[in-house]
Amino acid sequence: MRITRKAVLASVASVSVLALAACSGSDGGDTAEGEGDNAGINANTAINIAWNQPFYSFNGESITGNATANNIITYMANSRFVDYNMELELVADESFGTMEKVNDDPLTVEFTYADSAMWSDGVAAGPADLLLEWAAQSGKFNNVEPELDDEGNVTNQEAVDAGVYFDAASPSVALIEETPTIEDNSITMVYSKPFADWETSLDSNLPAHIVAQRALGIEDPEEATEALVAAITENKPEELSKIAKVWSEDWNFASLPEDEDLLVTSGPYAITDFVEEQYLTLTANENYEGDRPAAFDQITVRYNGDPMGQVQALQNGEVDLISPQSTADVLTALEAIDTIEVETNVEGTYEHVDMQQANGGPFDPATYGGDAEKAKQVRQAFLKTIPREQIVENLIKPLNPEAEVRNSFTQVPDSPMYEGIAEASGQGAEYADVDIAGAQALLQQVGVTTPVQVRLLFDPNNTRRSNTFELIKTSAAEAGFDVIPYTVQTDWGTDLSNATAFYDAALFGWQSTSTAVTEPDANFRTDATNNYYGYSNPAVDALFDELQVETDPAEQERILGEVEKHLVDDAFGVTIYQHPGITAYNPEKISNVQKLGIAPTIFYGFWEWSAGDAATDDATE
């Protein structure tokens, strides 16, 4: 067993894009041996990889599906115009297409699909696919919003079905106000104002022809695609209503769907088997013609939320690659296995606590007759009880002795902007230490009697989060808060956005997926994709409007500092620590594993993996 330590944190210095986290490199543009038709596949090879949260949606661009557990699968199954390499530089996959800025004023971007860009059912990928994503993510056509009851059920389903509702919201895509234009195999997007992160604003996602076939009842894929383009460009509400419903709902599945159309992909792999809560299998797409062919014939992702369970599975040969949420016990157990490679690192995920402000709970102004100030003081009181230093000392420093409390909502520690933004926010000063007396004083001041019950959402199968919950519960009880686990409706990741009435605060991690400076917008803007809590501050919205067009790093730092100051003043929540990471794998089964500092982490560069002799032996047994 060989243990190495990689300082991944430095490579995620400016990362901001976030997805729900359950938990030496190439340039990312190299091709495997052979060209087209997945010529780089090692025939009859298989690999098993453990992951902590099951897949539940193939539409990772929707509000419901925006989670790392989903996007690691779509990363291997679908092609994109751009990806990151190990140095976090954007690299184009020209075998899928090219993206070019053709004008600065107004900002104009042209996407051109390559001849080798192909869906696995034989239909060419093309401009309609990106037009659909613009329609979905821009919010341009939405004319209704779902209304939920206390159990997370939609109460206005008839209105939603009759109207147009795409389950998505992207402030950056909303800047493309004009309907994009299509010419041959290209589509041109014109922004209404300059945008700093245009390169990561929009990319390919679902097959437009299948969305149209399902929504409009047109069998021929070419005719279906033409009808979809017409519905969008001519703004036909009746057709758009059906298209939006299919886009939002049909690709949400937790086991293998009967309809194979839902399994059509544009990349090296396709889903061929999926047993709920157990495993998902990807098999090499024989029709793939791009430059990133599958290295293994088959990849099976096996789901296990127990970090020690993953270690045991690796030791038993049930899986070959793991990256469990790290604890001291996990590291010790891995050190005892002499047949594996182990690497430790700091990840692009940070732990935090956010609070519900619109669910009728203890942090909602409605609970106090609409008194927003009183609700804010109760939130402040709760935040004063969260033992951030103790959590880091007890749970993180045994893995990373240099670990410190993170004091920024948008910046990774040691990044160029971190110190300035953390200081401007005041989070470190406001919540440097647990302040039980201060919390009690605030509750007394607003006349709130104790105990105040707080339902805390977290992954109950995650050892470190369970330990964190116990530390928070014990500390908060001293001030008069009764912190209890939330009531599970489906699973914690889905409930985070869809069952908000069942929890008052959430303990989880946001995982960085990009280096775009504007992407915290999705977490804190009113009604934004990742803002599940009813938080709204017009000043924050205006600052994000300003950030979208700002390219000067000094001004970007100032704007984000002001955003974070509002978050602290509004008692939005609190950050705790940057995740320590562990990767372990069996070198006889897989090599050239390169863990990216942001999502997709251990799945990065899957086309450059090498299969060992044992991988071939297992696959042919």
Domain co-membership, 387 together with 452: yes
Q: Once rounded to an integer, what is the mean pLDDT over residues 455-476?
A: 94
Are residues 590 and 321 in contact, defined by beta-carbon separation less than 8 angstroms? yes
Res 4 pLDDT > 90: no
Q: Which amino acid is at 324?
A: P
Same domain, 368 and 479: yes
> Do 380 and 294 fall within a single domain?
no
- What one-character-per-residue DSSP string does 74-107 give? HHHHS--SEEE-TTS-EEE-TTTEEEEEEEETTE
Give the pLDDT mean for 351-380: 97
Residue 39 reports pLDDT greater than 80: no
- The Cα–Cα gap between 266 and 455 comes to 42
Does residue 146 fall inside a structural domain? yes
* Same domain? 481 vs 588: no
Inside any domain, residue 390: yes
Q: Please check whether residues 218 and 338 belong to one and the same domain.
A: no
d(CA 469, CA 354): 14
Q: Is residue 367 part of a domain?
A: yes
Strand order in the sheet with 107-113: 97-104, 107-113, 186-190, 181-183
Structure tokens at 386: 């969260």
Q: How many domains does the chain have?
A: 3
Model pLDDT, residue 28:
29
Q: 583 phi and psi, to 5 degrees?
A: -125, 135
Do 197 and 222 belong to one domain?
Answer: yes
pLDDT number for residue 560 = 97
Calculate mean pLDDT across residues 201-220.
97
d(CA 318, CA 278): 13
Q: How many residues does this entry show for the chain?
A: 621
Report pLDDT for 296: 96
142 and 287 co-located in one domain = no
| The pLDDT of residue 488 | 77
Domain range for 516 is 348-579
* Rounded average pLDDT over 186-193: 96
- pLDDT at residue number 43: 54
pLDDT score recorded for residue 196: 84
> Would you state the pLDDT for residue 21?
58
Work out the percent of the chain whose per-residue pLDDT is above 70.
Answer: 92
Residue 83 belongs to some domain of the structure: no
In a domain, 129, yes or no: yes
pLDDT tens for each residue of 263-278: 999 999 999 999 999 9
Question: What stretch of H or E contains 615?
Answer: helix 613-620
CATH number, residue 292: 3.40.190.10
Position 401 in a domain: yes
**How confident is residue 436, by pLDDT bands cut at 50, 70 and 90?**
very high
For residues 305 and 404, membership in a common domain is answered with no
Please give the model's pTM, rounded to 2 decimal places.
Answer: 0.77
* Dist. CA 431–CA 353, nearest whole Å: 13
On whether residue 27 sits in a domain, the answer given is yes
Q: Is 560 helix (H, G, I), strand (E, B) or coil?
A: helix
Q: What burial letters (b/e) apply to 198-229, b meaning 16+ CB within 10 Å?
A: bbbbbbbbbbbbbbbbbbbebeebeebbebbb
Q: Is 69 inside a domain boundary? A: no
Indicate which CATH number applies to the domain containing 543: 3.10.105.10
Of 407, 342, 308, 293, nearest to 43 by C-alpha is 293
Helix axis angle for 221-233 and 127-138, nearest 10°, is: 40
- Which position has the higher pLDDT, 319 or 553? 319
Please tell me whether residues 296 and 380 are part of one structural domain: no
Whether residue 325 is found in the same domain as residue 397: no
Is there a single domain that holds both residue 420 and residue 400? yes
**pLDDT for 618 beyond 70:** no
Say if residue 32's pLDDT is above 50: no
CB 610 within 8 A of CB 57: no
pLDDT digits (tens, 9 = 90+) for 498-528: 889 999 999 999 877 777 888 899 899 998 8
What CATH number does residue 104 fall under? 3.90.76.10
Q: d(Cα 117, Cα 99) in Å, to the nearest integer?
A: 14
Q: What local confidence, expressed as pLDDT, does residue 619 receive?
A: 53
- Same domain membership, residue 435 and residue 385: yes
Packed helices 436-445 and 372-385: angle between N→C axes, nearest 10 degrees: 160
